[in-house]
Amino acid sequence: MMSELALEELSALSAIYCGREECDVLAVSETEGISFRIQTSVKGPLGTDVLLKLLFHLPISYPSSLPNISVTSEQLTRTQCMVVRERLLEEAKRHFSQPMVHELILWIQQNLKHVVEQAETSVCCQKSTLSTCTTEDDGVWTVLLHLDHMRAKRKYVKTVEKWCTDLNLRGRLMFMGKMILILLQGDRRNIKEYLILQKTSKVDMDSSGKKCKEKMISVLSETKAQTEHRRFQEFEVKEYSTLDELQNEFKVAGLGELFSEFVLARLK
């Protein structure tokens, strides 16, 4: 059963962040918990205003378990956003078993400048680690998703492209007739963050023209990338006129079996 503390906290946050688009409740579920986005303006380096978008997912066991957090901002780099997320998760451990979201927001409002400065050090450490690592592709995962439809195609595509850029995911958004597939490669943690965004954000339009969440997405396959699988260099949107063209895209990437097992199966 969903925690009463979580519901009370959400009510309080909605009252505190009551401005336009400051608090957006994305999902309230008795089985999956609560997802919501907080937008807040914070002073960053050199006194600049940084608009932080903080996506929180509170599992049904919250606050006895920590929230999932995603951080995006047009004023920060992907690395800076990742460091902000890591520091928020560290801070969350200090408030374990207590409602903590408002405390986390206040903390990042007071400490963003220092955290962003730390992100630069993080970049140097990552480069050093990669230079001594002989298995750079360890931990790369491949996921294949199927979408039922896109009514607001242009907006939907731009949103998917932005998510992939923010999360450093590569691959393809593929259209062939009425079939829509998303093939992603990247760090498994980032893929999971992508799936949270995909399922909780109002990314499309319903039949009446109102913004709606993606309810018709299927995860066809999620597996660790093998040595014979090609690593995509970027995320691209591509349209195919024939099934053979689509199949060739999978074959070139060393994913012919994935195509046969999951894509052809949906066409039968």
Which CATH code is given to the segment(s) 140-267?
Answer: 3.30.70.100
* pLDDT value of position 114: 84
Taking CA atoms, 92 is separated from 59, 88, 115, 250, in Å, by: 14, 6, 15, 41
* pLDDT value of position 129: 42
Write the DSSP assignment of 33-76 as a string of letters: EEEEEEEEEEE-GGG-EEEEEEEEEE-TTTTSSPPEEEEE-TTS
- Tell me: the pLDDT tens digits for 118-151? 666 554 444 444 444 334 335 788 999 999 889 8
Rounded Cα distance, 60 and 138, in Å: 32
Three-point CA angle 22, 95, 32, nearest 5°: 60
Taking CA atoms, 218 is separated from 37, 89, 222, in Å, by: 23, 29, 11
Strands (E), 152-201: 170-176, 179-187
* pLDDT value of position 125: 44
User: Which of 71, 194, 94 is closest to 144 using CA atoms?
Assistant: 194
Taking CA atoms, 47 is separated from 76, 112, 232, 239, in Å, by: 14, 11, 38, 44
Q: Which residues of the chain have pLDDT under 50?
A: 123-137
Domain edges within the chain: 4-130, 140-267
Tell me, yes or no, if the pTM score tops 0.75.
Answer: no
Among positive and negative, which fits the CA dihedral 90, 16, 200, 239? negative
DSSP bridge pairs for 260? none
The architecture (CATH level 2) of 4-130 comes to Roll (3.10)
Contact yes or no for 226/219 (Cβ under 8 A): no
